[in-house]
Structures are given as C-alpha cells and as structure tokens.
Structure 1
Amino acid sequence: MSLPAHAGVDVGGGGIRVKIEGDQVSAYAEDTAPVPRDRGRVDLHRLAARIATTIEGAGVERLAGMAIGVTGLPGLVSEPGTLWQTLGDRFGLGALVVAGDMVTTHVGALGFRPGVVVAAGTGVITLGTDLDGVWNQADGWGHLLGDHGGGAWIGAQGLQAALRAHDGRMGGSPALLERMTARFGHPLDLVGLVYQSSSPAHHLASFAPSVAEAARSRDRVAGGIWAEAGRQLAQTAVAAATGLEPVFSWGGRLFDAADLIMDPFQSTVRDLLPNACFIPPLGTSADGALALAKAAADVRPRNPYLYVFTRTDAPRAQPLRRTL
C-alpha cells in the first residue's frame, strides 16, 4: 500500500500509540509492552523496530512524514538520528520529527498555543513553552529521582502503604494490602518482580488503578495518596509557568482518574496562581505528534527537545504554525 499519509507516534511508559491519517487512510494502533531499554536508556534500535511493526500492522507501508514523541527525551535518549536511519527509508519518509513526549503532549493539548502542559502517565514531565524562546521543563527526572505525582509514584506510595499494613506498622492500609495481594501475591513475589525488572516503573504504575479503586471506596490512605499526587503535579506546573501567561492544560492517562487528581491539581494551582486559566486538552500526545508530522516543513528544531530530519538540507527558518 502506498499512501500520502502522516503518522504520529506517542512512546510513553505504557507503550506505543500510533495515529495515521491520509487521504485514503485513518488508523490507530497500539503496542502496550514497556518501552525497550538498554542500561536505563531508551533502546532506539528495538524501539524503531516495534514502531515499524505497529505501523505495518495497521496496513501502512509508505508515509509522507512521521513525528515521534519519546519518553526520556532529553536525558535518556541518545542519537535520535537512529530513528531516522531506521525508519526513513523503510517508510519512504520525506521528514521525521523526533521530540520529547512532553512536546507532543503540549501540542496535542494546546495546539501550538503558549502555556503549560503537565504530561502524567507512568512518569511526569511538564513543559511550559511558547514554542519559541521560552522552554521550561519541570520534573521528568524518572521514578527514582522525581516523577512526583505520576503513576509510578502513586503505585509506589500505595504499595508502601500496603507493606506497612502487612508488617503492622503505622500508616498502613489494609484495603491496599488486600489489593496488592490479589494483584502480586506474597510481598516477596512483589519484591522479586520489581527489583529484578528491566522496567520497575511499569510495574509500580500498574498498581495506581488499584489505589484509585481504594480511594473511591473511601480508604483514607489511598485518598490521601491521590490528593498529594494532585498537589505535586500542581507545584510542578506552576514551576514551569515562568515567563508565560498562566494557561494550563494536561495530558496522559493519569488524568483519566478525573476528580481524584483534577480537584487537588486545579485547586493547588489556583492557590499559587489565582489568575490561572485551565483549558481541557484538545487531543492526546499522539494527536500532537500527528500535528507535528503534518507541519514538519515549518518545524524549527530545538535541541534537546525537538529534532527534525529531512531528505534535503534546505534551511527551514519559519516558526511553528500556531494552530493545528
């Protein structure tokens, strides 16, 4: 199949999501396995192979352009040109945009409007930008050093409360212990799974829905974890708003928890910035990647957040378009 289509690819802690659009095709595909890693960094060779398999599984063999939003960029992604080398010829791409998933989430949520977008799934990264001179990153430091309020953080807090209940220590939650045992078995099984895993954050985040269930069943400890997560996300959002109008949006599956996270998030932001404006996201990170793929000819590279690869070295000095 040869189609003048574009693909937007969202690579996050929960896997790969692809949106494809063209005159003759519209498709969505997912690969829910954890992102491949090599000594902590994203393994771009294996990632490229999985992206290609996902796109071809949707029945598409040729593309005019593609944009990929990658978790861990900047920081855990080296040589983003590897994706161009692997995918450019395979799909006959005219252009490839490689960006941090915070950039694609920002474009998906706000179009090309200036503001702050919190991207929260397994991890957390926040970007405040006007897509020109202001680029404020807050958090995104991984589950060991940051990602406060994200899925792995919530899951870890919930599992710690469950283990406290198992030990008989203060601050434990029998409701979370019951859910932990149902999901992971004995605590020693959990320890083996998490500490021997190549993607411990993925396993920690998988418990966040159980913490949400307990919170909605009025478990005080679980409810407190979600409330604190919202406050953490708010503090991160406000930190990224320097130099910008206080316009805020969000993206990522963590916000599917709705009121559990949204109420403390918005109320804390308003406590810190009373004139804050909240805009529900226009779309997802995959939508943002698709918009960048379509606008690739006008995208100005911004190292280390945004890279553009094309089949021509002609300069592209125009700024990003301001609307999707």
Structure 2
Amino acid sequence: MSSTGFAGVDVGGGGIRVRAEIGEESAYGEHVAPVPRDRGRVDLARLASRIALAVEGAMPVPGGLPAAVTPAQERPGVTRDVGRFAGMAIGVTGLPGLVRDPGTLWDALRERFGLETLVVAGDMVTTHVGALGFRPGVVVAAGTGVITLGTDLDRVWNQSDGWGHLLGDHGGGAWVGMHGLHAALRAHDGRAGGSLALLDRMTARFGHPLDLVALVYESGSAAHHLASFAPSVADAARAGDPVARRIWTEAGRQLGQSAAAAASGLDPVFSWGGRLFDAADLLMEPFQSTVLALLPAARFAPPLGTSADGALALARAAAAGSVRPHHPYLYVFAAATAG
C-alpha cells in the first residue's frame, strides 16, 4: 500500500545521499559515483535517473533492509512502490553556475514519484539548513569542493568561494588531495618540498606517477580523483608527516577566510558540513582560530545534521508552503502551479 512521504537528496561531488520518510518509515540510501557532466555542466537528465534509483533503493522492502545503490544498478528495472511524495528537495553541487535548467529535474521526477512540490537548491543551501536548521548564519560546505554560504534564507545571500577546483575551492577535498600529490611528486623527482610519506601513499593508491597523470587528465572527473587522495594526506598528517600537517593547517585557514568573508550583514554564527570535516582533528583549530582572528565576536555551532537532513527539512517546509524561491540558489516547483 502506497503512502505519502518526503525525501531529501544531497548531490555532492562523490555521490548521492538520500533521507526519506514514507508514512512511519524512515530510510537512508546512497549512490556512489561522480556527478555526471556534459561539457562541464551537470548533466541533469542522467542525474535524474541516478536520483530516482537512489530514492527507490533507499526505501524499505518487504523481507529485508534497503541497500546502497551502486553505479552498476543504473539501468532499467522494476520500480519499487514508494508512494507519492508531498515534498522532495534536492541539493545539487554546481548550482549556481553549472546547472542550466533546474526544471529538468521536476520534469523527470514529477510523475515517477507523484511529486506535489520539489525544491532544487545548491548543496550549500541544504548543507546550511542541515547545519543550522533555518537559523541565520554562515556554513562552510566542504567535500570534494568547498563553498560557503552566509544567509538568513530571506534577504541576505553571501556566497564565498565555490569556483571549482581550477579557479577556487580553496581548502576543499580536491585542494587537499592536489597539494598532497604535488608534495608526493616533488619527492619522486627529488625536488625540495616533497614528502616521502605522501609519495608512498600515492604509489600505493595510484601506482606509477604516469598512471596518475593518465587518470587525472583523461578521466573527465579530475576533482573526484584529486579528492580521493585527501584521506591519505590525513593519514600521513596523523602519522606525523610535517608536509601533510601543513597542508591541512592551510586548508583550515582557507576555510576560515571563506567563512569570515560570508558573514556580512549576519549574526556571526558559524557552522560547517561535508565529509571533509571528518578530519576535524586536523581542520577545526586552524579553521576556528582564523575566523576568530578576523571576527572576534564569532560563535561556533556544531552542525545539527547533514546536507541530506537539510534537504529533508526543506522538502517538508516546501510542502507546507513556507519556502520561497531565491534565484539562483533555490527554486521551487509545485504541481498546483506547474505549466
């Protein structure tokens, strides 16, 4: 028997995460794969298929627990009866800037899930709501990339960084991985500033440097591969490698500068989200000390939840009619007003 539900979807650089509620059941699902691209922009048609699979794969099924959806399952199959969704919200990496037409997701998902409302927002918006609820403040969203949003979700919308791994994203996962690989390759060449500890980890993960070059430059998902080395840089830092520790210290400083820059016009409350902050022991002190040096009145609030949690909260709020669109960060589609 179908029932009405809500779904929150977090689309990050490394995959899709879902929080859903169907009737009295709650569920979590994950689709692990880089975000599909078309000439640099997010390929929304392919992404919609992956989102649908992740949402369907998250739902409880009779006789067993839901399993994470893998890329191999991205093919036509039997659709689970997940019922109608009164509200769904999707936080998408690359919005604004790399998402051409958010309405593509509404067109692709509306009938499949019986959607009454859909919010399409930047993943920084869903991370903000996940971390602070609907409270004004500044949230740093750091995963593969990094983007900071200072907002009251009404009149103040301050974005800092989020310019992609070639132009910005300073202190994010790709940035950390890239600087770790720089140090590894310097050690391989015998140049100053290298790290043998990082060279060992690079070789263990990627093989010969020429294999790494081919992977990064030919794959079409360079940021994803660079960020995949960030945990190795963390491991080396915790093992005492001074080069790796300096990379993480500088990452924290960069994130702190981004946070302080986004605080204009807001109560200086700061939080954070994203998987890069799993390395909190390496990031938090330089991050917070940098913010305090720039804004001595700053206060820090540990995140209430994740970006997927924030998306679920937005889905509920949109269904209740309390979410207003704000171009280019947040779009709201509703069955009652769709043309």
How high is the TM-score relative to the length of structure 1?
A: 0.96
Matched residue SS, 2:84: coil
Q: Specify the alignment match of 1:40 in structure 2.
A: 40
Q: Specify the alignment match of 2:334 in structure 1.
A: 310
* RMSD across aligned positions (CA): 1.0
Q: Specify the alignment match of 1:320 in structure 2.
A: none
Q: Specify the alignment match of 1:159 in structure 2.
A: 181
Q: Specify the alignment match of 1:128 in structure 2.
A: 150
Residues 14-73 of structure 1: CA deviation (Å, up to 9, x unaligned): 100000013332110000111111111000000000111111122324322100000000
Contact 1:55 1:61 in 2 (8 A): no
1:299 to 2:316 alignment: no
1:205 to 2:223 alignment: no
Corresponding pairs, count: 314
Amino acid at match of 1:239: A
Contact 2:270 2:300 in 1 (8 A): yes
Residues 133-170 of structure 1: CA deviation (Å, up to 9, x unaligned): 10000000000000000000000000000000000000
Matched residue SS, 2:150: strand
Q: Specify the alignment match of 1:28 in structure 2.
A: 28
Q: Specify the alignment match of 1:178 in structure 2.
A: 200
1:224 to 2:246 alignment: yes
Of 16-25 and 259-268, the range deviating more from structure 2: 16-25
Matched residue SS, 1:295: helix
Amino acid at match of 2:249: A
Q: Specify the alignment match of 1:3 in structure 2.
A: 3
Return the alpha-carbon distance in structure 2 between the equivalents of residues 276 and 298 of structure 1: 29
Distance 1:224 1:172, change over 3 A: same
1:230 Cα deviation (Å)? Answer: 0.1
Contact 1:151 1:204 in 2 (8 A): yes
Contact 1:3 1:24 in 2 (8 A): no
Return the alpha-carbon distance in structure 2 between the equivalents of residues 173 and 58 of structure 1: 42
How high is the TM-score relative to the length of structure 2?
A: 0.91
Of 20-29 and 140-149, the range deviating more from structure 2: 20-29
1:49 to 2:49 alignment: yes
Q: Which runs of 5+ in 1 are unaligned?
A: 315-324
Residues 154-201 of structure 1: CA deviation (Å, up to 9, x unaligned): 000000000000000000000000000000000000000000011110
Matched residue SS, 1:63: strand
Q: Which runs of 5+ in 2 are unaligned?
A: 60-81
Amino acid at match of 2:23: D
Q: Specify the alignment match of 1:322 in structure 2.
A: none
Runs of 4+ in 1 over 2 A off after TM superposition: 58-62
Return the alpha-carbon distance in structure 2 between the equivalents of residues 23 and 61 of structure 1: 9
